[in-house]
Chains A and B, each alone.
Chain A
Amino acid sequence: MRYTVRSGLVIVTFLWALGPAQIIAQERSSPSTGSNPIVSTERPPKITLRVATWASAEEFELEQRMAERFMQLYPEITVEHESIPSSYREKILAAYAAGTVPDVFLLDSPIIPALMNRGLLVNLSPYEPQTGIDPDDYYEAVRAVFLNNGELLAFPKDFTPLLIYYNRALFRKANLPYPSEDWTWDDFLSAAKALTLDEDGDGKPDQFGSAFDNKLYLWQPWIWTNGGDLFAPDGTTTKGVLTSEKTLEAFQFLVDLRVKHGVTPPMVGVGNSRGGAIQGTVGMFYGGRLAMMPSGRWAYVRMRPYLQSGDLDVGVAPLPSRFKGQKSNVIYAAGWSVSKSSPHREWAVRLAAFLSSEEAQLIRAESPIGIPSLKKVAAIQASNDPFGIEQVFMEEAAFGRQSWGTKIDDFSRIEYILESALDRTLFGNEPLPVVMEKASQEIDQLIATNAAQSKDFAPLSGNSQIMGFLYWGCLLVLIGVGASIVSVRRKHRYELTTGLSFITPSFVVLFVFVLIPLVFSLYLSFHQWDIISSNKPFVGTSNFEALLSDAQFWKAISNTFIYTLHVPIGMVISLGIALLLSKNTRGMAFWRMIFFLPSVSSMVAIAMVWQWMYHPEFGLVNYGLRFFGLPPGTWLTDPKTALISLMIVNIWISIGYQMVIFLAGLKGIPSTYYDAARVDGANWWHQFVHITLPLLRPTTLFILVTSVISSFQVFTLVFIMTEGGPLDATEVVVHNIYRNAYDFLQMGYASAMAWILFLIVGAITWLQFRITRKRVTYS
């Protein structure tokens, strides 16, 4: 009867894992939703409010102080301040999916329309009188960003227009006057030309007049300054607007900066938006290699120390306009929103209002990171700025208009379509009118599809669906285990229960945290899900059908296959290094550490260093090539070489991992075999071929299988270094999945992609096992 005890144990372990969950799930099932629209003047009940921001370490203390100040005003309320320094979007999305949304959270453009259209945000305008907020105190253009059909969706925090930062020292050196307030495109271009210099005389410029990063948020206002636009005023179509003469003229002007005039640096990586790649636009500007940099107020935060130390002499000028006096600009803003799911709505609104109030904005102005949305505080902040930069930004607010990103749903995808289109001109030399015509059709189709979709969004529920999967899954497993125990012949039962009991601990963990999520994603792949609402309409196989004609997905698949070719090359190198370092002599520990270092170094540091090494003009790699008289490469800046460049980086990173496993494998080979071989007079090569390689086979198979799997799942490297560009040359499957899931909010479609990838990787792994198994029996 031993096996019954064992299978009993299996079941008990299972229930143990799920027991507490059930109790907690019941406790949480009934949140009450307060819906009183009027803020009460009574004392609040004893509650806790959660507020989420993307505050960095430096801002954290300030925001914390504000939370404490609010708690002084309302001692009954506890404010929990949650800082989400990166992956903010993923975190908010996940919170929506699970129904754990903070009561108050900071919002900026890209996700506003999605939440707005689904009715997930509290309309704050009725609360304005009670909370002592006077709309007239705010910049009108900034408040307008959060207004939708008379509903106010956030109390404004801060904002920025776009300006041109210029290096005054470089202007003086070139005997150029500083840009005037009403300068034009022609002025801008001639200044940029005069500031593009080849100082070392190698025929290639090493100082550039300006920069052009293919980011919609950077070039959007340039189109407006020419009187062009992306969408018709009501935002329902791009037809005739995106392809209008004025819009195309603006695009052409920007593209020509690089293609025709060569006054902007070749694009290195795309990391500029991710906190500033050092060798990107920001780095070149700080290093005095870039005379003008179009950017927002955010860049000033880290630039201020340079001005204070005198290392940089910088001024800011408005964006140039096409014709004198035809000014336009954009307003990007952040504000405090209240989630409709908050059970303490009135107090959450109070908190949001407080965070946007003069008192809070004055605290923030002590170490400013944005332009305060209150005119009064902005003026105070500007008067405290010894460099006069705040003043110019502030004045520009008058010309600002709302970005399309805060009005149109699914804008991340539109952004992607437009940037890809521009890439085709920048890197592929396709004519602008053609690519924009295509983009226009694609966008209009997208808008039409989205408009046709149901706008009834189910209110948030605690998402108990996944628990259903868990319980049914448990039941199935238990039945399966029971049935197989019963069906097995009595003499094999002991073997079976022993085997299962060895596996059970791992299985329970995998079951709950991997297998169930996996099955859930299979379920999702037949549905449509935007993560933020609980609607999951069944769509049959249409996700998979759409995949068949998704050219980008297949491009990503083929890129991923090509990328994976680096695995065997890397393994040969790693094995070589492992063989060299397997001797037990002094100093080897040091060398092993050296080769191990890249695999533990911060990924960001690795990306930084390699982007610098690959820099076409200043990079170490090209320097080395030139030194040996070889032609320099284009590396990350060219669609033809970008993927290979990433493969090289990954070989370099993986050496540490592969070397350690090879070392452990090599040491697992009993030395008696080598002794015997030596007695037989076998030389080094014979020993390697007839002992090391065959006996290392399980290790080699392990490294091959795991490296191929992780190569098929490459993500971080692409995410940090290239974002899939240029021209989709480095777009890989998981990056594509990420884009669709978290940027385009198509979790169902992304799950379908993941399952295709899963099947491909599964087949390849099976093949690897098959091939090696054959060889083992052969030998």
Chain B
Amino acid sequence: MLIPFIWMVSTSLMSEVEVYQFPPRLFPKEIKWSNYTGALTMLPFGRFFLNTFLVTTIAVLGQLITCSMAAYAFARLRFKGRDGLFALFMSTMMVPSIVTLIPAYLIVATFGWMNSYWALFTPILTSVWGIFLLRQFFLTIPTSYEEAARLEGASEWTVYWKVILPLSRPALATLAVFAFMNTWKDFLWPLLVTSKNDMRTLEVGIAMFSSLQGTNWPFQMAAAVVVLLPILILFMATQRYFIEGISLSGIKS
């Protein structure tokens, strides 16, 4: 489980000469912290971080709102065409993005969004994966809670906001973690829609340590470890929500 991560960390602390020992070595002879300062100052990583952070935050918030709304409709509301729409939504997951990449790029280019934050976050303001995840979760919530709320005259919006969302913290935390992770680590799309360094994201920055002449492994892995840390911190911070579960007993009607 740990080996790739250990390999990343130890490579990030090696001199370039040590990387290609054969068979590979897991620990550096001498720890080179300078790889970190070297890698992080060679490119404007501060700016990359800011861009990635901004885009990721907007995308995560966007997905939490849009996905939970749609999931609520698919799981809890009854209306004409609901199942057909859900099937349509699901079907968008089944097309390899490699094929929709160029058309999506054309759209963004015609919008004049190249090199802008719009191009980076708008396409990921929702996620069918997230809708599906929340829908499955909402299905498990007993209907008695919302029936009680409805008897008191609550609208669908109130039920969604006051009943369903508070009950769904584990699922929302899961969605947040994965939305964060996917946006944070996205590579090909940010690469395509940005060309200036001051619009680029972390993952594109990491790739810049590779070229046709080979890869500067220590620098690339140093950057990769730094980029990975926020995800791990977020995971540690949110995992108590997965664990905590819903204290159903507390809101007995």
Q: Which residues of A contact B (CB under 8 A)?
A: 20-21, 24-25, 27-28, 50, 52, 54-61, 80, 82-87, 90-91, 93-94, 97-100, 102, 275-276, 278-279, 282-284, 286-289, 298-299, 301-302, 305-306, 309, 311, 369, 462-464, 466-467, 470, 484, 488, 492, 495-496, 498-500, 502-503, 505-507, 509-510, 512-518, 520-521, 531, 582, 584, 588-589, 592-602, 604-606, 608-610, 612-613, 615, 618, 652, 657, 660-661, 663-665, 667-672, 695, 698-699, 701-702, 705-706, 709, 712-713, 715, 733-734, 737-738, 741-742, 747, 750-751, 754, 757-758, 761-762, 765-766
Contacts and interface: CB of A to CB of B under 8 A. Distances in A.
A20 B88 CA distance: 27
A464 to B, nearest CB: 7
Interface in B81-117: 81-82, 85, 87-107, 109-112, 114
Contact of A91 (B99, B112, B191, B249): B191
B1 A518 contact: no
A27 B112 contact: yes
Interface in B190-245: 191-192, 195-197, 204-217, 219-221, 224, 228, 231-232, 235-236, 239-240, 242-245
Given A279-B24, A301-B214, A503-B69, A593 B95 contact: no
27 contacts: A24-B112, A25-B112, A58-B42, A94-B102, A98-B109, A279-B24, A283-B24, A301-B214, A466-B103, A466-B106, A466-B110, A502-B156, A505-B125, A513-B107, A516-B103, A517-B107, A597-B5, A612-B23, A667-B245, A667-B246, A668-B171, A668-B245, A695-B140, A709-B93, A713-B97, A715-B98, A766-B87
A351 B92 CA distance: 44
B246 A85 contact: no
Given A462-B110, A605-B221, A60 B43 contact: yes
Interface residues of B, number: 121
Interface of B: 1-5, 7-8, 11, 15-17, 19-24, 42-43, 65-67, 69-70, 72-74, 77-82, 85, 87-107, 109-112, 114, 122-123, 125-126, 128-129, 131-133, 136-137, 139-140, 156, 160, 170-171, 173-174, 177-178, 181, 185, 188, 191-192, 195-197, 204-217, 219-221, 224, 228, 231-232, 235-236, 239-240, 242-246, 248-249
A712 B219 CA distance: 34
Contacts of B232: 593, 597, 600
Contact of B231 (A21, A600, A698): A600
A466 B104 CA distance: 9
A663 B137 CA distance: 12
Contacts of A589: 236, 239-240
A618 B103 contact: no
A769 B41 CA distance: 51
Contacts of B65: 505
Contacts of B235: 593, 596, 600
A98 B110 contact: yes
A55 B208 CA distance: 8
Contact of A278 (B19, B114, B188): B19
Contacts of A85: 204, 207-211
Contacts of A618: 22-23
Given A90-B192, A609-B4, A660-B177, A758 B95 contact: yes
Given A97-B102, A283-B20, A369-B213, A702 B133 contact: yes
A598 B4 contact: yes
B105 A506 contact: no
A737 B99 contact: yes
Contacts of B109: 98-100, 463
A275 B210 contact: yes
Contact of B96 (A505, A695, A757): A757
Contacts of A652: 1
Contacts of A604: 220
Nearest to A277: B215
Contact of A598 (B1, B205, B244): B1
Interface centre among A91, A615, A738, by most chain B C-beta atoms within 10 angstroms, is A91
A424 B107 CA distance: 43
Given A498-B79, A660-B242, A698-B136, A609 B197 contact: no
Of B100, B191, B246, which is in contact with the most chain A CB atoms at under 10 Å from its CB? B100
A521 B99 contact: yes
A737 B140 contact: no
